[in-house]
Amino acid sequence: MSTQDLLARIGQSGEETEFYTPMPPGYRKGHHKYVVVVGTVMSGLGKGIFSSSLAKLMQDKGLKVAPIKMEGYYNVDSGTLNPFRHGEVFVLDDGMETDMDLGTYERLLDQDLSAANFTTNGQIMTSVLKKEREGSYLGRDVQAIPHVTGEIKLRLRELAVKSDADVVFVEVGGTVGDYETMHYLEACRQLAFEEGEGSVAFVALTYVLEPNALGEQKSKAAQLGIKRLMEVGIMPHLIACRATREVGEKVREKVAMYTNVPLRRVVSMHDMSSIYLIPDALRDGGIDREVLTLLDLHARVDQRNEDRARVRWQRFVDRVGKANRSVTVAVTGKYVTLRDAYASIIKATEHCGLHLGIDVQLRWLDTTEIDEDNVADRLADVQGIIVPGGFGIRGTEGKIECIRHARENKIPYLGLCLGFQMAVIEYARNVCNVPDAHSTEFEPGCPSAVIDILPEQKKIEGLGGNMRLGGKDVELKPGTLAAKLYDNARMVRLRFRHRYEVDPKYIKLLEDHGMIFSGKHPTQPIMQVLELPQSVHPYFVGTQAHPELTSRPLRPQPLFLGFVKAAVECAARQQGGGTPAAALAARKAEPQPV
């Protein structure tokens, strides 16, 4: 009896077997292919960037791709992780709080992902134990093999069915040899065995050292790292060598000889000026063709689709490093010592800069060090101010001072989530004459809680005491700046991650003093976008949402794009060319959109 015949009998005859491979309904063996990307030597090599770049090349060829990130920690999601430890929390449209690598996939693939594209040890173990309690294992003692590995394989196959993917890209978090991810590697090994030859391609991302004292590249650490992968039964088909400089041919030859991987499949993945150059670098190295050959996918390629996609992407990457103007934008938060905490903000401003031919330089300012006395000096010579999201009282008064400075000096302002709430507090204190205005998040008993959790709001959309997460519809007020930025749309979709809202009893007071709530919940008194009239301020916008999460290279996020344009006009005013005619000329001189 063949292995496949035996697998087909599982769950039918009731006989005990060591194979545990649950198959989701609709799964088409042989149609769905897999590329598994693992890291060796050390973490932080850029597996997500490599995997998403390779997935983009397959997508350009007309293939359906679906990425999944498998994390080794036992948290069920990334929502409670400290940004200092793990970077930003990236929220998907369905509300799943994930690792920041999911943002890389969404941006490069221009694709909204879901909870099916992210899993953790916590999710896997929760599912296994739930099935054990329900009697799903028919009296078997539940073990890592076959039950935990079986659950992992089921997740991969369910994603393949849900997305109808030609290729599922599997990124295994951490580094080969980590205890917490060994069962992921074992599951992928079993997957390759069960799916058969030509169905699973393994990619090892490794690191080639170049010690300053030696002045040459050394491959021994890379060789030993890949050996760890081979020791668990996985023979890589492709090897990507990360390095500071391009990896020389002799080093690649050593790696190829040591791993039995053909030299043409050992490629250099050295540092580049922009991650958006990596897809073309992989294509030039022929890696996309090697994957097609390994997985027998040449017949599914749509050449015309690839040609069109390459032209669009080339127009975009041709702008990298070509800016002839620059603006300085201050990002005023409390995690500024770790840039990964604001990764999506960095990318959103980068997209806008490339779109407009502008170099957007970010100035990172810790708001715990900003007060009324030094705010002007700290924000001198900036053309825009962003106050990002965050939790906790630390640094909030500094953020309020930054917002006041932006409002009073007509510096373009963009408030995100907490930046929206702080803008409401600042306006209530300094314009609406409510000096004790605050948020119950920071001062539970404050007498003028303009920001609060309201009992009636807790019932909306099943919020309970938890955060409002994921994509939500936002109704825009006609004629406002926000509506114009979205091409006069009446309804847009934004992603949220917050608990506190503007207390409706203060809305009229704020509006009577000039604040415009240009975006709100379609049916409830939940304010989601605010602005000041352009007759009062050139660009003062705040949103309860996180628009940075939906910015894409070829489609810059509208609120960010409007903000960067306003910063360019602010720079023109600061340089003495601040007439309306000069501002109009500057807009006309902007490069055409890609």
Per-residue pLDDT of the chain (594 residues; tens, 9 = 90+): 455 554 545 444 445 666 778 899 999 999 999 999 999 988 888 899 999 999 999 999 999 999 999 999 999 988 888 777 778 899 999 999 998 999 999 999 999 999 999 999 999 999 999 998 988 887 788 898 899 999 999 999 999 999 999 999 999 999 998 899 999 999 999 999 999 999 999 999 999 998 888 888 998 989 999 999 999 999 999 999 999 999 999 999 999 999 999 999 999 999 998 999 999 999 999 999 999 999 999 999 999 999 999 999 999 999 998 888 999 999 998 777 777 889 999 999 999 999 999 999 999 999 889 889 999 999 999 999 999 988 777 878 999 999 999 999 999 999 999 999 999 999 999 999 999 999 998 888 889 999 998 665 555 544 444 678 899 999 999 999 999 999 999 999 999 998 899 999 999 999 999 999 999 999 988 999 999 999 999 999 999 999 999 999 999 999 999 999 999 999 998 887 544 444 444 444 454 445
349 and 288 in a common domain: no
Unique residue bearing structure tokens 């170099």: 359
258 and 388 in a common domain: no
553 and 422 in a common domain: yes
Domain containing 36 equals 27-316
* C-alpha of 18 from chain center: 39
309 and 353 in a common domain: no
286, 316, 346 - which closes a domain: 316
Q: Is residue 341 a part of any domain in this protein?
A: yes
Q: Rounded CA gap, 561 and 554, in Å?
A: 12
362 and 213 in a common domain: no
What three-state secondary structure class fits 35? strand
Q: Is residue 379 a part of any domain in this protein?
A: yes
What three-state secondary structure class fits 141? coil
Full-model pTM: 0.90
329 and 270 in a common domain: no
399 and 444 in a common domain: yes
316, 350, 372 - which closes a domain: 316
* Residues catalogued as catalytic: 417, 546, 548
Q: Is residue 16 a part of any domain in this protein?
A: no
Structurally, the chain folds into a number of domains equal to 2
Determine contact, residues 376/404, Cβ cutoff 8 Å.
no
What's the CATH code of the domain at 283? 3.40.50.300
Q: Is residue 194 a part of any domain in this protein?
A: yes
* Alpha helix ranges (H) inside 87-239: 101-109, 121-133, 149-163, 182-195, 220-231
233 and 333 in a common domain: no
DSSP category for residue 440: T
Q: Rounded CA gap, 398 and 396, in Å?
A: 5
Q: Is residue 5 a part of any domain in this protein?
A: no
Q: Is residue 459 a part of any domain in this protein?
A: yes
281, 316, 351 - which closes a domain: 316
Q: Rounded CA gap, 573 and 297, in Å?
A: 55
Determine contact, residues 384/564, Cβ cutoff 8 Å.
yes
333 and 252 in a common domain: no
401 and 305 in a common domain: no
What's the CATH code of the domain at 517? 3.40.50.880
